[in-house]
Amino acid sequence: MPTSTPAPVPAPGRSEIEIRGLHKSFGDHEVLRGIDLDVATGEVVCVIGPSGSGKSTLLRCVNLLEEPTRGQVFVGGTEVTDLDVDIDAVRRRIGMVFQQFNLFPHVTVVENLTLPQRRVLGRAKAHAARVARENLARVGLAEKADAYPAQLSGGQQQRVAIARALAMGPAVMLFDEPTSALDPELVGDVLAVMRMLAAEGMTMMVVTHEMSFAREVADRVVFMDEGRIVEEGPAARVVGDPRHERTRHFLNRILDPAAAEQPGPEKSL
């Protein structure tokens, strides 16, 4: 197992992520309209929904990359939205993987993993390098440690980005559509790494359009539309037998793309 500083354990009975009455507006446009959501320690929650429904904004509010208009967010029992919070300390327990890989192109893969450890965690060079190589092996890229990002496929770059986040020893991993920028044949390797993390008990909140992953790996699926949670529940039930008409319409269009050519029902919440 990779060598890393263990993340603090939340108090007994407390969820790893707690979201209460969360609102977010950009000017006059209200993107989040009162979100309440818990993610338990070790739970995998997939957030699905149409483009513009607020999924990515919700994820970015968890580590304050977007500042909520009102409401509260707690991570590991610490209120992220408290004006006096040490946000850097909170972010040390959160790993974030974006749609784009955000790797430094001018340094090697292993250096992409060691630089954040040394600058943020203050690790010695040798320690950081050891953790970096262990996590590259964990995502199946040990042999790419000395390559440069431009020498890797998109799927390999995304796995490096996951390894970089893991090297920081997070308690929570947030994934913002991590496969959306990849060619279809590269998606499987990235999802395999995420399946591995889920099997290891990593707390994960995943914004995704990969319905097979959501059905097979998630403990719970949350369907969002127009800034609200429309439906949530066990993955097999929400994806396989949704109760809300809006959820059914969305999933029909995702699972049967040909249906997108047919007129659908009006949105209802």
- Whether this model's pTM surpasses 0.85: yes
Across residues 130-154, what is the average pLDDT?
Answer: 96
Please state, in angstroms and rounded to a whole number, the distance separating the CA atoms of residues 212 and 260: 19
Tokens of 99: 């749609």
Please state, in angstroms and rounded to a whole number, the distance separating the CA atoms of residues 103 and 112: 7
**Whether the predicted pLDDT of 10 surpasses 80:** no
pLDDT at res. 256: 75
**Whether the predicted pLDDT of 74 surpasses 80:** yes
| Backbone CA torsion sign across 166, 10, 218, 34 | negative
Collapsing DSSP to helix, strand or coil, 44 comes out as: strand
Tokens of 222: 């949350």
Residue 160 main-chain phi, psi, to 5 deg: -60, -40
Q: Across the strands, what pairs with 229?
A: 224
Across residues 121-135, what is the average pLDDT?
Answer: 96
Half-sphere exposure in the Cβ direction for 87 (13 Å, CA): 13
Please state, in angstroms and rounded to a whole number, the distance separating the CA atoms of residues 108 and 148: 5
For the chain, give percent helix, strand, coil, nearest 5. Answer: 40, 25, 40
Over its C-alpha atoms, the chain yields an Rg (Å, rounded) of 19
Across residues 50-62, what is the average pLDDT?
Answer: 95
